[in-house]
């Protein structure tokens, strides 16, 4: 008789999961709307079940509404915002393509690194962390490099800057350049109109303005971007993110590609439905009003914002840490004593700012009041 030897590795014994209730006012994730959490608690369907395919169709319709686009290729990437970022670059870039990346914060650097990995000749242009690019500096870069793709972050989460995008598409189209925009910290909270602004490729995430957990990330390609994809000489070098394969699952063919994270898609569908119910313009207005309330309350206790009001994001505010204050210690006290998460500075702004998010379900005056009360006690 063959006996299986006992494993020398003992089974871990843990108590059931017990997670503290935090108010997530950092750069994301933000708190999830309870309706969305309830939707996740629905039994999974098969990923080719006609009812599930109907939910995928609804996600596409809702994404088009929230982004204000008619793009046929508009769907969710199964992964976080970084996967959707990678999907845009993998599909848009052919080895040797010139790509201009506008770097004015941490996520611009990530775009540079990724574009290089897909074989692009990358020309990065730089702006001070805390300021947007002028249209003239972008025009200059396009005219100098005549890139296949211009990549820019709309809402730079590391600095709190809103980059104006109006007018860029005319520059891009005049030079045969595709306009690729990161809308991770803007979608659902900051006005963005993909078609009106001529944006060719965009991606986002679920865990910020959409009030959903992280894991299913919006992605879209315009007809111009799709035409470039169809003309490419080689295959998209990333199988999982190849839009020509993904379109067969999301489009009418319904061919198996990967097992969709079913319950994440339920959550995304509900999060988008709630945004549509509120009305996207109303959601933008709510974010602006609550951000202005936050700014006035922070100023009232003597704190300074890092970004000029004109370019400040309503979703993410960078607040300068006053001289002589240990910013990390304050954030730690807020977390452990008050159950409130705020973010620290990233990259060049490390140790210089706190990052306060008011996104999606969290963009409410009572959250501002709770944070300000805690700030007053710890500062």
- Site residues for ligand PLP, window 34-53 (CB under 6 A)? none
Min dist. Cβ of residue 128 to ligand PLP (A): 17
CB of 182 to ligand PLP, least distance (A): 5
Name the segment binding ligand PLP (CB under 6 A); options: 74-82, 164-172, 246-254, 339-347. 74-82
Using CB under 6 A, which of 74, 157, 159, 263 touches ligand PLP? 157
The structure tokens listed for 316 are 């993410």
Options 182-190, 241-249, 252-260, 337-345: segment touching ligand PLP (CB under 6 A): 182-190
Q: Which of 68, 82, 121, 139 binds ligand PLP (CB under 6 A)?
A: 82
| Residue choice 78, 80, 127, 318 for contact with ligand PLP (CB under 6 A) | 80
Q: Is 261 in the site for ligand PLP (CB under 6 A)?
A: no
Q: How far apart are CA 347 and CA 356, in angstroms?
A: 16
Tell me which residue has its CB nearest to ligand PLP.
81
* Shortest spacing between CB 43 and ligand PLP, in angstroms: 26
| H, E, C per residue of the chain | CCCCCCCCCCCCCCCCCCCCCCEECCCCCCCCCHHHHHHHCCCCCCCCCHHHHHHHHHHHHHHHHHHCCCCCEEEEEECCHHHHHHHHHHHHCCCCCEEEEEECCHHHHHHHHHHHHCCCEEEEEECCCCCCCCHHHHHHHHHHHCCCEEEEECEECCCCEECCCCCHHHHHHHCCCEEEEECCCCCCCCCCCCCCCCCCEEECCCCCCCCCCCCEEEEEECHHHHHHHHHCCCCCCCCCCCHHHHHHHHCCCCCCCCCCCHHHHHHHHHHHHHHHHHCHHHHHHHHHHHHHHHHHHHHHCCCCECCCHHHECCCEEEEECCCCCCHHHHHHHHHHHHCEECEECCHHHCCCEEEEECCHHHCCHHHHHHHHHHHHHHC
Point out which span in 30-38, 77-85, 118-126, 141-149 binds ligand PLP (CB under 6 A): 77-85
355 is in an annotated binding site: yes
- Whole-angstrom distance between the N-terminal and C-terminal Cα of the chain? 71
Segment near ligand PLP (CB under 6 A); pick from 65-73, 75-83, 232-240, 339-347:
75-83
Distance between CA atoms of residues 236 and 77, nearest Å: 15
Q: Which is nearer to ligand PLP, 110 or 123 (CB)?
A: 110
Please report how close the Cβ of residue 126 comes to ligand PLP at its closest, in angstroms: 17
By CB under 6 A, tell whether 28 contacts ligand PLP: yes
Characterize the bridge pairing of strands 23-24 and 216-221: unpaired
Structural contact between residues 71 and 194, judged by C-beta atoms closer than 8 angstroms: yes
In the window 199-258, what residues touch ligand PLP (CB under 6 A)? 205, 214
Instruction: Rule CB under 6 A: say whether 184 interacts with ligand PLP.
Output: yes
Smallest gap from residue 77 Cβ to ligand PLP (A): 10
Cβ closest to ligand PLP, residue 107 vs residue 375? 107
Number of residues that bind ligand PLP (CB under 6 A): 14
C-beta neighbour count of 339 within 10 angstroms: 14
CB of 366 to ligand PLP, least distance (A): 25
Given phi > 0 = left and psi -120 to 50 = alpha, else beta, which region is 213?
A: beta
Stretch that binds ligand PLP, among 80-88, 242-250, 271-279, 331-339 (CB under 6 A): 80-88
Asked if 81 interacts with ligand PLP (CB under 6 A), we say: yes
Stretch that binds ligand PLP, among 6-14, 51-59, 162-170, 178-186 (CB under 6 A): 178-186
Task: Please select the residue that binds ligand PLP; options are 86, 97, 182, 247, rule is CB under 6 A.
Answer: 182
Distance in Å, CB of 16 to ligand PLP, minimum: 28
Numbered residues of the known binding site for substrate: 355
Q: Which residues contribute to the site for ligand PLP (CB under 6 A)?
A: 27-28, 80-82, 85, 107, 153, 157, 182, 184-185, 205, 214
Name the binding residues.
355
């Amino acid at each position: 008789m063959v006996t299986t030897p006992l494993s020398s590795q003992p089974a871990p014994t843990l108590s059931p999961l017990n997670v503290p209730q935090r108010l997530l006012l950092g750069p994301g994730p933000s708190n999830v709307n309870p309706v969305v959490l309830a939707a996740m608690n629905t039994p999974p369907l098969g990923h080719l079940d006609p009812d599930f395919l109907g939910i995928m169709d609804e996600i596409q319709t809702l994404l088009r509404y929230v982004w204000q686009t008619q793009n046929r290729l508009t769907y969710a990437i199964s992964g976080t915002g970084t996967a959707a970022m990678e999907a845009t670059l993998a599909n848009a870039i052919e080895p040797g393509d010139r790509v201009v990346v506008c770097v004015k914060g941490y996520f611009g650097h990530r775009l540079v690194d990724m574009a290089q990995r897909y074989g692009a000749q990358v020309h990065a242009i730089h702006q001070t962390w805390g300021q947007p690019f002028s249209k003239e500096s972008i025009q200059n870069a396009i005219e100098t490099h005549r890139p296949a793709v211009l990549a820019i972050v709309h809402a730079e989460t590391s600095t709190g800057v809103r980059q104006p995008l109006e007018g860029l598409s005319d520059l891009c189209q005049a030079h045969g350049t595709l306009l690729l925009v990161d809308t991770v910290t803007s979608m659902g909270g900051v006005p963005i109109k993909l078609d009106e602004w001529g944006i060719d490729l965009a991606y986002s995430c679920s865990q910020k303005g959409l009030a959903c957990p992280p894991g299913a990330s919006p992605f879209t390609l315009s007809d111009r971007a799709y035409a470039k994809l169809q003309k490419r000489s080689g295959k998209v070098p990333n199988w999982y993110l190849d839009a020509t394969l993904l379109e067969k699952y999301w489009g009418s063919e319904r061919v198996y590609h990967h097992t969709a994270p079913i319950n994440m898609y339920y959550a995304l569908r509900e999060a988008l439905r709630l945004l549509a119910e509120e009305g996207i313009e109303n959601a933008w207005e709510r974010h602006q009003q609550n951000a202005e309330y936050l700014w006035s309350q922070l100023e009232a206790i003597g704190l300074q914002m890092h970004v000029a009001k004109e370019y400040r994001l309503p979703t993410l505010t960078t607040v300068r840490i006053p001289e002589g204050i240990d910013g990390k210690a304050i954030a730690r006290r807020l977390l452990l004593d008050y159950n409130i998460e705020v973010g620290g500075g990233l990259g060049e702004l490390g140790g210089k700012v706190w990052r306060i998010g008011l996104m999606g379900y969290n963009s409410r005056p009572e959250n501002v009041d709770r944070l300000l009360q805690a700030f007053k006690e710890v500062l």
